[in-house]
Amino acid sequence: MPIITYRQALNNTLGEELARDENVLLMGEEIGLFQGSYRITEGLLETFGPRRVVDTPIAEEGFVGLAIGAAMLGLRPVVEIMTINFVLVAIDQVVNHASKIHYMFGGQVRVPLVIRTPSGGTGQLGATHSQSFENWFAYCPGLKVVAPATPYDAKGLLRAAIRDDDPVIFIESLALYDTKGEVPDNDDYVVPIGLAEVKRPGTDVTVISYSRMTAVALQVAQRLEQEGISVEVVDLRSLRPLDRPTIIRSVKKTNRAVVIAEDWYSYGMTAEIAATIQEEAFDDLDAPVQRVAGLEVPLPYAKDLSAISKPSANSLIHAIRTVLEGKR
Amino acid sequence: MTKAAEAARAAVEREDGGTLRRYYHQMLLLRRFEERVSEMYVKAKIGGYCHLNLGEEASIVGLMDALTPDDYIFTNYREHGYILARGVEPGPIMAELFGKETGVSGGRGGSMHLFDAKAHFMGGYAIVGGQVPLAVGAAYALKYQGKPGVVVAQMGDATTNIGAFYESLNLAKLWKLPILFFIVNNGYGMGTSVEHGSSEPNLYKKGGSFRIHGERIDGTNVLAVRDAVRRLRQKAEEEGEPAILDMTSFRFRGHSVIDADRYRDADAVRRGRETFDPVRKFAAILRDTGIVEDAFLKETAELVDRMVQDAIDFANNSPEPKFEDMYTHMYATPVPNTPDAQDAIRAVKINRGE
C-alpha cells in the first residue's frame, strides 16, 4: 500500500471529490493562488479553476454564513478556516445557524457543509493561535465533529464528511500534516462518522485520545511495550457523535483508563470521556480515571513555557504509571 | 392634497382593479392574522417571543408580488406576514405558532423560525443579522448553478449596524450576486431609534463603501414598493447588481407582543398609526377613486376574518409533536451512536416522574 502524508491524503481527497461532484467547491482564505496556508489545497486551483476553488476575503462570518446558505440550496461547500481560532469570528453562523437549520425547520432543508480547520498548537504560535476548541463544537447537537489521527482516517473521514448531508467540523492538526501512513490507491473507502477505533490492542490500560494525541499515544504504547506494559489505544475519530460503546468495551477489558487531549483541563474533552467511563464502567475500574490535558493558561510564547503547556509523551507516561500503581 | 398623495392616487388609477383588490385582500389578511395572533398570545396559545408585522403590510405585499416563484426569501424573526404573503396557507403558519406537528416547521421552530421549502421561504432567523450571510450564500448558489431568480435578505433597520451585514454587502458586490437587501425601517430596533444607533441614519446610503445602489422607498405604499422591487430585482437577476431597499414604515406597537412600548411618546404613536396605516390608507384611496365600494371592503373583512378563524381552528385541532419524534430531524444523514425514539421515550418518563 502506498505511504503518503496526512497533507497528501487531504489534498488527494479534495481533488477526487471536486472531480466526482460538480456541487462540491472549496472556499477559504488563501486556498487558491497562495496554495493554502498549509498547502492542503496545493494545485487545486490550477486543476479546477476559480469557480470550484474560491479565494475569499478575510471575512469568516461572511463566508461561513455564505457557505451555509449555499449548502441550503444544494451546493456542498468545503470551507477551510486557517486555524480553529478564527472560527470564533464565525461562531454565530456555525452554532446558531449551521447546527440548527435542519432540525429547527422540521427537516425541510439540509446543510451539507464541511469546515476544515487545524486545532491545537505547536511551534510557539502564542496565546491566540494555539487553542483547541473542538469541544465547543462537539458540545453542539446538530453538528458532527471528526478529528482523524492518521492519513488513512483523514482520507476516509474527509470523504465521509463531504458526502454527508449535515454540517461537519473536520479537525486537523499542524503537527500531523507531515506524518505518514498507508493509504490505499484506487479505493473509494469511507471511514464512517460516529465510530471510534481501537488503533492498538492491549490488556493493561486503555488510553483514549484523538487527532495528534492519538499519534502520541501510539508512540507511548510502543515504548511501554518494551517494559512489559500493554497499552490499548482507542482513537475516537468522531467527537460528535461520540462512540461511547467502544470506549466502554475497552475499559471493561483493561479496567484502567487514561484520557488525553490537547485542550484545557477544566470543561475539556477529557472531562466528557472520564464522566462517560464512571457512568458506564464504574464497577470495572481498578483505579480512578486519569486525565491528561493542557495547562490552564493563555499559551505563553517563550519556547520552554510554551512546550510544557501542552501535554507530552512524558505526561501521558506519568498518567499511565499512576493508573497502574499497585497493579504490578 | 400633497404631491405624494396625488402621485399615489394617480398610480392607483393606472392600475388594474383586480390587482388592487387582491393587494387589499392580502394586506388585510396580514393585519387580521397579526391581530388575532396577539390575542392568541395573550391567551397563552402561543409561547416564546412573538413579533408582529402590524404597519408593514404594504411593504410585505408589494415585495412578494414583485418576486417570482424562482426567488428565495430569508427573513428575520418578524416574519409571519412574509410567509403568508408568499402564499403559504394560514393554517400551518398558525399551527407553528401554536407549536403543533402540522406547523410549517413541524412545531420545532415557532414564531421566529417559520419555513416552507416549496415556497422558497428559507426561514425566519432570530439572531440579528444571522440571515444576511445565508441569503448571500443562496444567491451564490443560484449564480453557481446558473439558475434564474434572486434572493431577498429581509432585515430590520438596526441590523444595518452589525458586522455580518457589512461582510455580506462586500461579498455580494465582489461576486456580483443576485440579491436584494430589504430593510424594514420602522424607526426602531427594540427601544433604540435609528438616529440613536446609526451614525448614518439614511440607511439606503450604507452600501456606499461597497458601491451598492440604495433607495429609500415609502414602505406604506404597496405600489411604490412593488415597482421598486421589480426594477431592482431585474437588475440583480440580469446584471448581478445587488441593491439596498430602505423601506420606511411605522411600528404600530412595541417591539414584541409583550413590549409595553413605554419609550415612545404615546401621542406620537397614536398619530403615527393614523398617518402611516398602510391598510387604512389603501382602503381610503381605493374608495375615493371609485375602484371599490364599501360592500367590497365589508366582504373582504368578513372573508379574511373567516380565513384567520379557520387557521386558528386548524391550529387548535392539530396534534402536538410526538415525544418519540424528539430526535427525528436531528441529522439528515443518519450516523451511529446518536439517540433514538427509545431514548426519547425514556427521557419523557423520567422527566415526568412516571
B65 touches chain A (CB under 8 A): no
Containing A229, the helix (H) or strand (E) segment is none
Instruction: Give percent of chain B above pLDDT 70.
Output: 100
Residue A69 vs residues A72, A78, A305: alpha-carbon distances, Å:
5, 13, 43
A193 touches chain B (CB under 8 A): yes
Name the active-site residue from A30, A42, A61, A129.
Answer: A129
Domain B15-321, CATH homologous superfamily name and number = Thiamin diphosphate (ThDP)-binding fold, Pyr/PP domains (3.40.50.970)
Comma-separated ranges of CATH 3.40.50.920 domains in chain A: 197-324
Q: What pLDDT does residue A39 have? A: 97
Q: Is A247 helix (H, G, I), strand (E, B) or coil?
A: helix
Q: Is B346 helix (H, G, I), strand (E, B) or coil?
A: helix
Query: Which ipTM was obtained for this model?
Result: 0.96
Tell if the CB–CB gap between A75 and B330 is shorter than 8 Å.
no
Using alpha carbons only, how large is chain B's radius of gyration in Å? 21
Query: Of the candidates B134, B171, B174, which has its C-beta nearest A72's C-beta?
Result: B134
**pLDDT tens-digit readout, A12-34:** 999 999 999 999 999 999 999 99
| CATH number belonging to domain A197-324 | 3.40.50.920
pTM of the model: 0.97
Least Cα distance to B134 among A97, A108, A144 occurs for A97
Report the distance separating Cα A174 and Cα A153, nearest Å: 16
Tell me the average pLDDT across B156-175: 97
CA atoms within 13 A on the CB side of A156: 20
CATH class of A3-182: alpha beta
**Touching A: B residues 176-235, CB under 8 Å:** none
Residues from chain B that touch A63, judged by Cβ atoms under 8 A, are: 133, 167, 171
If pLDDT is split at 50, 70 and 90, which confidence band does B252 have? Answer: confident
**Touching A: B residues 22-61, CB under 8 Å:** none
B119 touches chain A (CB under 8 A): no
In chain B, what are the domain boundaries? 15-321, 326-354
If pLDDT is split at 50, 70 and 90, which confidence band does B253 have? Answer: confident
Comma-separated ranges of CATH 3.40.50.970 domains in chain A: 3-182
Q: What pLDDT does residue A117 have? A: 98
